[in-house]
Amino acid sequence: MSITPELLSGSADINSKYETKLGIVCDMGEGYGKWKMGPDEDIMPLIDVANIACGFHAGDFNIMAKTVKLAKEHGVKVGSHPGLPDLLGFGRRKWDIPADEVFNLIMYQTGALKAFLDAEGMPLNHIKAHGELFFYVARDEGVMRALMKAAKIFDVPVIVAKNKRIQEVAEEMGVDLIQELYVDVDYSNEGHLVPVQQSRPKNGEIIYDLVKTAALEDTITSVDNTVLNLNFGENPFLLCLHSDMPTALDNVKASRRAIDEVNAIKYTK
């Protein structure tokens, strides 16, 4: 028996404007100074889209420049990954910030990344909020609208987890969405993402099975082992993976293998 959480009941056909097959999006450039976070050089050749940190939760001007060049080398599309100003907490601690300030910090960080993209002759592909800001967008409509307002100014879509209310607001504001699915963290029975720290540990073998099930059966198992209907249907979507997990490279390799197999079945013209 499976259930369809209200949160996941929105349409996924909006993805088809940007995605013609399954792809991998990964958070990248999340070191700082001499501190490295994640095997970016090994992961970048395996993914399709990169969210690059913009200096508030992680990343700095040198890392941003290096990561943009690495993405260009491997033909990876790049979007901004703005976070809360919380280097010590990696942008994953709860903050209470007014919506107008959220708008400003998204504009500031995305503008910085776009400058590096301009220098390499690359377009800004999207905006995706990081960590606690990602959850803040999902639970606070004012913050949600601040993100959409910034995306409209930069004229790019927003990458979000499947969320019916976000889809409604985006349609109202004239902002395009690309919906994604997380496979290295869990979902609650209500369709909410479970924070990294509270999710069950995953490895490549588990990730492979999760991806195949999601893509072929349109379901995923919640943190309580309830089968959730995803409602992607035949529409392609992005798989989001974190680069800062101990098993990050194995997770990406397993996802790449799984989606290449699915794409050969479902999305090869």
CA 257 – CA 193 distance, rounded (Å):
24
Segment 173-192, tens digit of pLDDT: 999 999 899 999 999 998 88
As beta bridge partners, residue 78 has 50
CA dihedral angle for residue 10, residue 166, residue 106, residue 175, rounded to 10 degrees: 70
Residue 154 near residue 134, CB atoms below 8 Å: no
Structural domains counted in the chain: 1
- In this prediction the pTM is 0.91
Neighbours of 98 (CB within 10 A): 11
Which DSSP string do the residues of 18-75 spell out, in sequence order?
T-SS-EEEEEE---BTTB--S-HHHHGGG-SEEEEE-SSSS--HHHHHHHHHHHHHTT
Indicate the SS3 state at residue 89. coil
What CATH number does the domain containing 173 carry? 3.20.20.370
**Residue ranges making up the domain that contains 178:** 2-266
For each of the chain's 269 residues, which pLDDT tens digit applies?
A: 566 666 665 555 555 556 788 999 999 999 999 999 989 999 999 999 999 999 999 999 999 999 999 999 999 999 999 999 999 999 889 888 999 999 999 999 999 999 999 999 999 999 999 999 998 998 899 999 999 999 999 999 999 877 788 989 999 999 999 989 999 999 999 888 888 788 888 899 999 999 999 999 999 999 999 999 998 888 888 999 999 888 999 999 999 999 999 999 888 76
